[in-house]
């Protein structure tokens, strides 16, 4: 695995699960080339193993389904995604985030954009990027959808709906990442989304 290529896009566990649960997953998996770590892959496997009987519509089922999709793609020989091995391997609840930090500390020059769903994790990795003087942007998973949109692989409506889905499933965390994406592009999603996503 040490020879796995490093693509300029690096993503963590929760970021991959978030996009894997959108309707744009198939396009995204096929079109993007991205890298994750063996620790994140292990976290995905844990989500699958520990949620064998997750009820329909539950958070556990969401984590399991997203993880299964990402794992199947990572294990697909024809996939352009890669998984790099991080040594020593971190443990604990923040192991995925820590593995990204380790990877960036050693191979920061290989990356341009890092995607993480958790806001605190983004801020923490942003500090690391600043300390090392890397030219890396740290953003939420809507950026992965934005890459598709920017390259005309998905429509504006598809971009809005997939991002809106993230708000529904991730609450404030999803709102935070999606809202700044919408504010930046700027793309008016009001014609595609219900009022419960964009409160009155």
Q: Which residues of this chain interact with other proteins, rule CB under 8 A? A: 5, 7-9, 30-34, 80, 112-113, 119, 122-123, 126, 137-140, 142-143, 146-147, 150-151, 167, 171-172, 175-177, 179-181, 183-185, 198-200
User: What are the Cα distances from residue 107, in Å, to 5, 7, 87, 129, 194?
Assistant: 12, 11, 13, 11, 42
- If the CB atoms of residues 6 and 42 are measured against other proteins, the closer one turns out to be 6
Q: Nearest approach, Cβ of 21 to other proteins (angstroms)?
A: 18
Alpha carbon of residue 93 to chain centroid? 17
Nearer to other proteins, 81 or 95 (CB): 81
Count Cα neighbours of 47 within 13 Å in the Cβ-side half-sphere.
Answer: 26
Over the Cα atoms of the chain, what is R_g? 16
Q: Residue 53 CB, nearest distance to other proteins (Å)? A: 27
Q: Which lies closer to other proteins via its Cβ, residue 91 or residue 127? A: 127
- Closest CB to other proteins among 95 and 100? 100
19 touches 145 (CB < 8 A):
yes
Q: DSSP code of 134?
A: -
Cβ of residue 164: shortest distance to other proteins, in angstroms?
12
């Amino acid at each position: 695995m040490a020879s796995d290529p490093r693509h300029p896009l690096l993503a963590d566990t929760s970021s991959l699960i978030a996009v894997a649960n959108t309707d744009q997953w198939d396009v995204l998996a096929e079109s993007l080339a991205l890298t994750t770590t063996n620790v994140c892959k292990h976290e995905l496997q844990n989500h699958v193993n520990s949620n064998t009987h997750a009820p329909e519509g539950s958070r556990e089922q969401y984590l399991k389904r997203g993880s299964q999709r990402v794992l199947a793609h990572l294990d697909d020989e024809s996939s352009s995604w890669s998984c790099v091995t991080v040594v020593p391997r971190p443990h604990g609840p923040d192991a995925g985030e820590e593995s990204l930090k380790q990877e960036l500390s050693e191979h920061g020059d290989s990356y341009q954009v890092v995607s993480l769903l958790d806001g605190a994790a983004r801020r923490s990795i942003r500090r690391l990027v600043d300390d090392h003087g890397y030219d890396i942007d740290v953003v939420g998973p809507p950026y992965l959808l934005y890459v598709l949109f920017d390259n005309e692989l998905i429509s504006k409506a598809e971009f809005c709906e997939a991002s809106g889905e993230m708000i529904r499933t991730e609450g404030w965390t999803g709102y935070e990442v999606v809202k700044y994406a919408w504010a930046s592009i700027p793309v008016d999603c009001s014609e595609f989304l219900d009022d419960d996503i964009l409160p009155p």
